[in-house]
Amino acid sequence: MLAIFHKAFSNPPEELNSPDSHHGSKKPKLPEETLNEFLSHHPHNNFSMGFGDAAVLAYVKPDQPFSLKQRLFCGFDDIYCLFLGNLNNLCTLNKQYGLIKNTNEAMFVIEAYRTLRDRGPYPADQVVKDLDGSFAFVVYDSKVGSVFTALGSDGGVQLYWGIAADGSVVISDELHVIKEGCAKSFAPFPKGCFFHSEGGLMSFEHPMNKMKAMPRIDSEGAMCGANFNVDKFTRINSIPRVGSEANWSAEWASH
């Protein structure tokens, strides 16, 4: 999967953007170049959707209908989700949220996001922590222009993110696409964490602790993005809680 969001809408972490990215022999590419390269690797089973200058989502249709690492893409009510992996407790979650039995993982994630955005009965970290399985997902809310991304903690699925030539954030499970598109401005997305474009990066396993960025140095001694880890010694005042679409960013801004 591939998701690209304009920097004005995604607010990526500054530490992802390496100062050495534009000085080496390999320079970051523009988003359209990265998209075209991704699609060229999967010429017969790809699908992509653009949202003007704000975002683009691309998806590779699975070769087999059932897989341990299924790939899903769906949209509802101007919210779109790319999902990779499986949720072991999907039936329980569907029942908890009042969804029909055959609701797939991507549709469930959209419903969970809508619940957070509009009603917010639980903190965002608790909602993601309730997901049992190997998973990665990217949600784009085109109505309000926000991004919500998460990666499971078990290491069964990999996810990477980086910065394109124009400052856009690029997210994909394909490392070679990230390396080619972002040069040295990329890093693995941290396991057990989620990112919201208004609230930044947070651990859903350790929500009371802040995240810290550690510079990554490649074999040439150049900075190469940053690794993000839980700061075990620095705690936040309280667990963020979302009350409505209007105050999602306000709640996060206070932490």
Average pLDDT score over the chain: 86
pLDDT digits (tens, 9 = 90+) for 162-187: 999 999 999 999 999 999 999 989 99
Q: What's the Rg (C-alpha) of the chain?
A: 17
Of the candidates 230, 242, 120, the one whose C-alpha atom is nearest the C-alpha of residue 252 is: 242
Residue 120 one-letter amino acid: G
Nearest in space to 72 (alpha carbons), one of 156, 135, 4: 135
Residue 75's Cβ-count burial label (10 Å; 0-12, 13-18, 19+) is middle
**Domains delineated in the chain:** 2-253 (3.60.20.10)
The encoded tokens of residue 156 equal 């069964």
Is the model's pTM score more than 0.75? yes
Give the integer Cα–Cα distance in Å for 248 and 36: 34
Indicate the angle between helix axes 175-182 and 31-41, nearest 10 degrees: 150
State the Cα angle at 177 between 51 and 216, rounded to 5°: 110
d(CA 113, CA 252): 15
Would the pLDDT of 250 be above 60?
no
Render pLDDT for 31-89 as a digit per residue (tens, 0 to 9).
999 999 999 988 888 999 999 999 999 999 887 666 667 899 999 999 999 999 999 99
Strand order in the sheet with 146-151: 71-76, 79-87, 133-141, 146-151, 193-196, 200-203
Q: What is the pLDDT of residues 102-156, one digit of tens each?
A: 899 999 999 999 988 887 667 888 899 999 999 999 999 999 999 999 999 998 9
List the one residue out of 222, 228, 178 whose CA is nearest residue 21: 222
| pLDDT band (50, 70, 90) for residue 220 | low
Which pLDDT value is given to residue 210?
Answer: 83
Residue 146 region by backbone torsions, left for phi larger than 0, else alpha for psi between -120 and 50, else beta? beta
Higher pLDDT, 249 or 219: 219
* Cβ atoms < 10 Å from Cβ of 175: 13
